[in-house]
Structure 1
């Protein structure tokens, strides 16, 4: 990856962003979930697909009338409700522990509004202190549910940004979060996050990458481009 000044890097990001919007469109802002719902949904999403996550999330909501009830429930009942998401034996206790910690911090209330009184970094660190919550989950809650700018790095974004050259190729995913967040303009977080995920799913796959039909092939610094149609 060629060394770039911040100005050059952000100009490059702007070109990538524009090309992805031309190819995929500008993602519409979705109605945000309540922050606790987003937190639980994102914990459920770990190591599974969106369909299984949603089935488990709605099963949990159907089984219990509110988050207080989930917190107070027998752990095995929570586990049974979320089995479609996989790793239920790990995710169930994590969800209940998170709800307990939030309630204890917030005078018995289960919401995350108190994070608005913190800086972004403080809010992120508070969320990461919860068992089962890493940088990606914290960033998703901040960006999508609380309107606090953050740039989540999931598997697709980690892979694609490494290939494009937006981050050093050997950088860990933990270091990729602050690296990208510090360099990508905040106004680009939402659409760039979603369009890079789409690029990773449809074009720049883990095992196969189809550079010949990539909308940013001329902006990508990947050395091993596949320009041969299947």
Structure 2
């Protein structure tokens, strides 16, 4: 990331911090729990994700039970989260892969004692798990400064010119991971998500109300409000 863009990124971080204050503390779920929760979050709302997670835990109180369940049984349990036929086999495959790697699925410290690089490689090597999901586990469960890029973060970063317009989410995540100081990762991540949900929305963003308006080249923005 060029020095000028890094300077603008620091200004963005300060503005968002002033606008939105201190974000809620991370959930700090055990890593395996966070992994499953993040898979459930794909292409759905936080509310539906949380409902599906609660339903899954009621149906299968232990992760070993989920690993041994049928995809149909898991899909039935998580149906309120959406895309259950897709997410169910992903969850089961990820848990089974962890178990084959010697991970005790139901131990609360499972994965927590691994070094960052080892844990990262293990997570992104799981079926259906990419860099965003791996970063969520590291950041939200273990307070390790990895920068997840979801659709909101990606959209805002592109419009601000912090990453290339054609950069995909994986490339954007790598760029932000390299540029954001570790102590700012969580707060900036949460600020960008909130900004993307409330102001820099996908269609007709509220540019007239944006605290970043004077810093934003509005890359790819057509009609705004």
Which of 30, 35, 41 is the equivalent residue of 1:45? 41
How far is the alpha carbon of 1:184 from its aligned partner?
1.3
Specify the alignment match of 2:11 in structure 1: 15
Q: Deviations over 1:48-68 (max 9, x none)?
A: 111111111000001112111
**Whole-Å Cα distance in 1 between the matches of residues 22 and 202 of structure 2?**
24
**Whole-Å Cα distance in 2 between the matches of residues 60 and 97 of structure 1?**
16
How far is the alpha carbon of 1:168 from its aligned partner?
1.1
**Whole-Å Cα distance in 2 between the matches of residues 57 and 139 of structure 1?**
19
How far is the alpha carbon of 1:118 from its aligned partner?
3.1
What's the TM-score, normalizing by structure 2?
Answer: 0.91
Specify the alignment match of 1:180 in structure 2: 176
Which of 114, 119, 123 is the equivalent residue of 1:123? 119
Q: Runs of 4 or more off by more than 6 Å in structure 1?
A: 224-228
Equivalent residue runs for 1:137-216 within 5 Å: 137-216=133-212
**Whole-Å Cα distance in 2 between the matches of residues 34 and 24 of structure 1?**
27
Which of 197, 217, 222 is the equivalent residue of 2:218? 222
Matched, 1:104 2:100: yes
Change in Cα spacing, 1:227 to 1:52, as seen in structure 2 (3 Å) is closer
Q: Deviations over 1:131-178 (max 9, x none)?
A: 111111111011111222100000011110000011111112221111
CA-atom RMSD in angstroms: 2.1
**Whole-Å Cα distance in 1 between the matches of residues 75 and 121 of structure 2?**
27
Q: Any stretches of 5+ residues in structure 2 without a counterpart?
A: none
**Whole-Å Cα distance in 2 between the matches of residues 140 and 109 of structure 1?**
18
* Contact 2:159 2:221 (C-alpha < 8 Å) held by counterparts: no
Specify the alignment match of 1:4 in structure 2: 2
Change in Cα spacing, 1:156 to 1:223, as seen in structure 2 (3 Å) is closer
Q: Deviations over 1:9-52 (max 9, x none)?
A: 43322221111111111213234111111110110111111111
How far is the alpha carbon of 1:90 from its aligned partner?
1.6
How far is the alpha carbon of 1:85 from its aligned partner?
1.3
**Whole-Å Cα distance in 2 between the matches of residues 161 and 203 of structure 1?**
13
**Whole-Å Cα distance in 2 between the matches of residues 9 and 62 of structure 1?**
47
* Contact 2:35 2:133 (C-alpha < 8 Å) held by counterparts: yes
**Whole-Å Cα distance in 2 between the matches of residues 179 and 107 of structure 1?**
31
What's the TM-score, normalizing by structure 1?
Answer: 0.89
Count of aligned pairs: 224
How far is the alpha carbon of 1:226 from its aligned partner?
8.0
How far is the alpha carbon of 1:4 from its aligned partner?
3.1
